[in-house]
Chains A and B, each alone.
Chain A
């Protein structure tokens, strides 16, 4: 079981990610944007962070960049989960330090298998 932080400004998306991951036995915390995610991530260590890209206050790419600056998140899997699928945005995510790029809509089983893979 892993401790996962799911970041999305959409309440229903937060619910769906939480539902998918907790049904796989993971413990899931949520945050509504990059700023809140950083605050939560500083209080406790997560094994995986899954974040949306377009969010108010701080977007997902900036969040990944910020997390990678912290020693305790340097090697943590950071996954982007977004509707964006352009090569340019993916490259931005990669350069920021993201571990992977998942395009919505996600399949719950597929999401679980990817989490398992990045945790291995």
Chain B
């Protein structure tokens, strides 16, 4: 008799559960980081407004440069969110269940997921999930080769 770990149906089920759990965790983490990023953006807006009357004052130019650096740096949060959204969508495709709406998501499904994972998660499941992600091409699809050179570029038609 085949063991549970060797049963391909069982592995697929575990992968599906792992994928759903991973997608949910990602979705939560992304949602959690949105408010602080917006808060930081608002703080920068206030700083900018506060600095306007000080135009020409000593140190004003340095502060403006710092503000511009903050604007550039905070855009990497947006980029990270986009990359995580691609990964979340890939995981959702692998999941056994479609992801519930975050707003209506209760603890019940999470508990069910954890219980099922505890029961079924094989040692190699994480590796399999990673291999599956790589095979789908999602990792390469996130960014094109050479995109680094294009960062910050502009072209008028």
Residues in A lying within 8 Å of B, measured CB to CB: 10-13, 15-16, 18-20, 22-23, 54, 83, 85-86, 90, 93-94, 98-110, 114, 117-118
Contact = CB atoms under 8 A, between A and B. Distances in A.
Interface of B: 34, 37-38, 40-42, 44-45, 48, 52, 67-68, 71-72, 74-79, 81-82, 144, 147, 150-157
Contact of A11 (B38, B151, B154): B38
Closest 9 CB pairs of A and B: A15-B41, A85-B150, A105-B75, A100-B156, A12-B37, A102-B154, A108-B68, A103-B153, A12-B41
Contact of B155 (A12, A19, A101, A107): A101
B157 A104 contact: no
A114 B74 CA distance: 21
Contacts of B44: 15-16, 19
Given A10-B81, A11-B41, A19-B41, A110 B75 contact: no
Given A19-B41, A19-B48, A114 B147 contact: no
A16 B78 CA distance: 11
A100 B41 contact: no
B40 A19 contact: no
B78 A107 contact: no
B75 A15 contact: no
The binding surface of chain B is classed by DSSP as helix
Contacts of A118: 156
Contacts of A103: 150-154
B150 to A, nearest CB: 3
Given A13-B78, A100-B156, A105 B72 contact: yes
Given A12-B41, A15-B38, A104-B78, A90 B71 contact: no
A117 B157 CA distance: 12
A19 B154 contact: no
B157 A101 contact: yes
B151 A117 contact: no
A23 B37 CA distance: 20
B116 to A, nearest CB: 31
Contacts of B52: 23
